[in-house]
Amino acid sequence: MRRFLPYFSYVKPVRWPLALGLLCGLIYGAASGFGMPYMVKYIFPKVFAPGAVRLTPLEIALIAAWLPAVLTIRGIAGYLNTYLTQYAGTKILEHLRLDYFRKLQFLPLSFLQKNSTGDLISRGVADTNQLQTTLSNLANDLVKQPGTLVAALVYLTWLAYHQSGVGLVLVCLASVPLCVLPIRYAGNRIRRRAMDLQSELGSLTGRFSENLASAREVRAFCLEERETVRFGKTTHILLSLQMKVVKYTKAITPAIEIISAFGLAATFIYAYHVSLSEANFISIITALYVCYEPIKKLGALSNDTKRGAAALERLEYVLNEPLLLTDPVNPVDVGRLRGDLAFDNLSFTYKGDTPALRDVSVKIPAGTTCALVGPSGAGKTTFANLVLRFYDATAGRVTIDGIDVRAMRLADLRRNIALVSQDPVLFNDTIYNNLLLGRQDATRAEVEQAAQDAFAHDFILSLPQGYDTMVGERGASLSGGQRQRVALARAFLRNAPVLVLDEATSALDGDSEAAIQLALKKLVVGKTVLIIAHRFSTIRDASMILVFERGEIIDSGDHTALYGRNGLYKTLYDRQGTS
Ligand SMILES: Nc1ncnc2c1ncn2[C@@H]1O[C@H](COP(=O)(O)OP(=O)(O)OP(=O)(O)O)[C@@H](O)[C@H]1O
Ligand SMILES: [Mg+2]
């Protein structure tokens, strides 16, 4: 229970419906704990006892009305209790899920790379769901059941005491505390298994998402059977974990029923010895029975709490993850930057000991088109990522116009940079809205101009709904070249002083290729451009070329100079030239 206390802030927006729901729970508890046994003890004997006085029709009507009255109040209160507490639970879930999602937006890329997508999805869907179930049940039963229990216990104690003193009270109540034993026993076992279960659910989602994302590879490499077998293994593990949880959860109710049966038997024997009347005995048994119901429900609730705690732990793994890449406390206000880039003695390590960049120092003046070349894994993408502050340097710094990128607000920094990645991803939205991502406040005319500059306008108009055509998931309904032109149009729209371009490695069809090259020529004018270049035409046109090898910049200069003096550059260039 204490686990949930830090999350009380989530309750605040729903405190009124929740309070009303809990009040209804109390009314429900009183009606069931007290109403029924009272009727059995006092009302029925009046009617059915031998020699009872004859009742007037009004009295009969009133007595007959007792049952519907109690059950109506109990029914309505119970319904409102459930409805309102479920409402509160759903609302809390909504906020929690939103916070979880928001947190994912701000976490560093390294965190997302460390964890599997499926697992992160599963935490946001299945674990929040489990938590909602727990919260709703908690809110639902936390007042209702103890309320019923206390009302029944008070009534039972009072009744038993009046009938034959303390002895009967003790006999009746003896078995009640025993019921806690199975609850505790099962609870301890459920906790850990629930954790395993939720995390296995994550693996299952992971398998799904990985498989669906690689649908083409699965078919091309004939992996259908292998994938199905792997999936089968995961579902099997999940099933066995589920059964372990079921084993303990479902044992609680019968265990309590068995214990309560012994309690009832003891009461029966004692009642026989003190010669209790039939009506008194039945009334006591009814009250005792009413006590066991809430205990059973509380047992189930305790289970649920364990599962909820396990789910919460999984959410906290993300919610409590420190945001390593944050805005500085006193950010330097920057408007539009000029775009003088500099790396000062910068080193960066992803993880382990091998640095991806090693003591890199370089100045790239504003307006330079700078090509990054080097063998695969040399650190080119890493270099560009550090300018966007996707990661923070392990040592040294990156500056723009002399300002450390860590001294600016992240949003200010990134507003000054346009990124066109190798394989641009579009959102499943209209082309227009995808273009608008370049600059949210752009007008229709500006968007169309940008599309024209990127040679995308014509192909967009030829689509069935023009700018309003939906592009499909990740832009699947467009060709690679079309997606790239949309990405370039976004960069035109953004019109940022710094442009980071990861050139596509795959060759495009001639028309697309020519259009993209033309668009690029126009786009780079007056900007500081970092271009991870794979095509020798791009490399040759760059005013500055940095040659990367194993995390270091081993040489820089223009094409002619490098070609003359640098062996690695010459090899790379010649290889590209012939391919
Ligand atoms: N997310 C990551 N986690 C751990 N190591 C990484 C990560 N990304 C890259 N690396 C490592 O850092 C080194 C530099 O990688 P980087 O992606 O910068 O190379 P690159 O020059 O862009 O290569 P390519 O031309 O193949 O794109 C490589 O050794 C790579 O294995
Ligand atoms: Mg790369």
Q: In the 8-state DSSP scheme, what is residue 353?
A: S
pLDDT beyond 80 at 270: yes
For residue 578, what pLDDT is reported? 46
Identify the nearest ligand to the CA of 356 by its number: 1
Compute, in angstroms, the gap from residue 205 CA to the centroid of ligand 2: 29
pLDDT beyond 70 at 507: no
Q: How far apart are CA 350 and CA 357, in angstroms?
A: 9
Q: Beta strands 341-348 and 357-364: pairing type?
A: antiparallel
Q: Tokens standing for 5?
A: 């206390």
pLDDT band at 508 (very low <50, low <70, confident <90, very high): low
pTM recorded for the entire structure: 0.80
Whose CA is closest to 139, among 90, 209, 192? 90
Ligand 1, residues at Cβ distance < 6 Å: 113, 350-351, 356, 374, 376-382, 548
Q: Can you tell me whether residue 242 is helix, strand or coil? A: helix
Whose CA is closest to 20, among 71, 85, 73? 85
Longest dimension (CA), the chain: 124
The minimum-distance atom of ligand 1 relative to the CA of 551 is 14
Give the residue whose CA is nearest to atom 26 of ligand 1.
376
Q: How far apart are CA 172 and CA 234, in angstroms?
A: 49
Q: Which CATH superfamily is domain 341-578 in?
A: P-loop containing nucleotide triphosphate hydrolases (3.40.50.300)
How much of the chain exceeds pLDDT 90, in percent? Answer: 24
What is the rounded average pLDDT of the residues 438-442? Answer: 88
Q: How far apart are CA 189 and CA 411, in angstroms?
A: 47
Q: In the sheet that 341-348 helps form, which strands lie side by side, from edge to edge?
A: 357-364, 341-348, 395-400, 403-404
Name, in order, each residue with C-beta under 8 angstroms of 405's C-beta and a sequence gap of 6 or more: 386, 387, 389, 397, 398, 399, 413
Q: Which CATH superfamily is domain 10-319 in?
A: ABC transporter type 1, transmembrane domain (1.20.1560.10)
Compute, in angstroms, the gap from residue 392 CA to the centroid of ligand 1: 15
| Tokens 């003896």 -> residue | 174
Q: How far apart are CA 526 and CA 367, in angstroms?
A: 5
Q: For the chain, which residues make up each domain, given as ranges?
A: 10-319, 341-578
| Tokens 């370039």 -> residue | 488
For residue 571, what pLDDT is reported? 85
Residue 380, beta-bridge partner list: none
For residue 509, what pLDDT is reported? 65
For residue 319, what pLDDT is reported? 92
How many residues can be counted in the chain? 579
- pLDDT per position as a tens digit, 138-185: 877 877 788 888 888 888 788 778 776 677 777 777 777 888 888 888
Q: How far apart are CA 372 and CA 375, in angstroms?
A: 10
Q: Sign of the C-alpha dihedral, residues 14, 17, 21, 22?
A: positive
What is the rounded average pLDDT of the residues 309-317? Answer: 90
Compute, in angstroms, the gap from residue 299 CA to the centroid of ligand 1: 53
| Tokens 């930057």 -> residue | 337
* Probe residue for ligand 1, chosen from 372, 373, 382 as the CB with the greatest number of ligand atoms within 8 Å: 382
For residue 529, what pLDDT is reported? 92
Q: Tokens standing for 117?
A: 């997508």
